[in-house]
Amino acid sequence: MAYDAAFISEIVNRVMAQCGDAPAVSAGDDTVPVGVSNRHIHLSEADVETLFGKGYQLTPLKDLSQPGQFACKEQLTIIGPSLRPIEGVRVLGPVRKASQVEISRTDSFVLKVKPPVRESGDIAGSAPITIVGPKGVVTLKEGCIIANRHIHMSEEEGAAFGLKDGDYVTVEVNGERRTTFYDVQVRVNKAFRLEMHIDTDDANAAGIGNGFKVKVVK
């Protein structure tokens, strides 16, 4: 069976994205690889010590696609008003100034919480949530959100797309369940690398996974 160059290139791009080594955007390329984010937790240093013990340091498990970010070996339990816990929620590093729990809309129904859709780090007035660790419990008065759909870009990638930090774009998904994502935030930083982040609800609805290429519509 013969395969054309475009088909082979797509397969290579998907494999490289799965390995955390996605190719840089080229001139005229309006596609972006997808990264699917499952529920996860960011912790402050103080909350790390409350949950795991005095002086505890998070244990890196693997690097994530964005430089300096990593998944940790540590997993925790989150509890909302339903008192139905969700266990095994991965902690991501490094530590932050304030703790934050990112979940999907489906998770919110289980927990009976009402998190707003927000940019990561924008937790003022967000939903409360309780985090249970092996050494202690942290109850956040605010900090539970559903992360907005967003695209990470380096400064060079932003220039190639003609986009700047804070712009919003529409994204077309030509997967097995063709759809369009509106109001996707663009986040440009010299430390970022090209990737669109969506949660598991969005990924499942569109029938796509890590490394799938989506099209930015200006």
Evaluated on CA atoms 31, 162, 155, 148, the torsion sign reads: negative
User: To which H or E segment does residue 15 belong?
Assistant: helix 5-18
pLDDT digits (tens, 9 = 90+) for 162-193: 999 999 999 999 988 999 999 999 999 999 99
pLDDT digits (tens, 9 = 90+) for 46-100: 999 999 999 999 999 999 999 999 999 999 999 999 999 999 999 999 999 999 9
Domain boundaries, the chain: 26-36+149-217, 38-147
Cα→Cα distances 139→18, 54, 68, 165, Å = 35, 18, 27, 33
Taking the C-alpha atoms of residue 97 and residue 123, their distance in angstroms, rounded to an integer, is: 12
> Given this model, what pLDDT does residue 28 score?
58
Q: Look at residue 92 and give its three-state secondary structure.
A: strand
Q: Is 0.95 topped by the overall pTM?
A: no
Taking the C-alpha atoms of residue 77 and residue 75, their distance in angstroms, rounded to an integer, is: 7
Q: Look at residue 81 and give its three-state secondary structure.
A: coil
- My answer on whether omega of the bond before 67 falls inside 30° of 0, hence cis, is no
Tell me, which fold does domain 26-36+149-217 have in CATH?
A: Barwin-like endoglucanases (2.40.40)
With tokens 């998770």, the residue in question is 107
Helix H, strand E, coil C: the string for 123-189 is: CCCCEEEEEECCCCEEEEEEEEEEECCEEEECHHHHHHHCCCCCCEEEEEECCCCCEEEEEEEEEEC
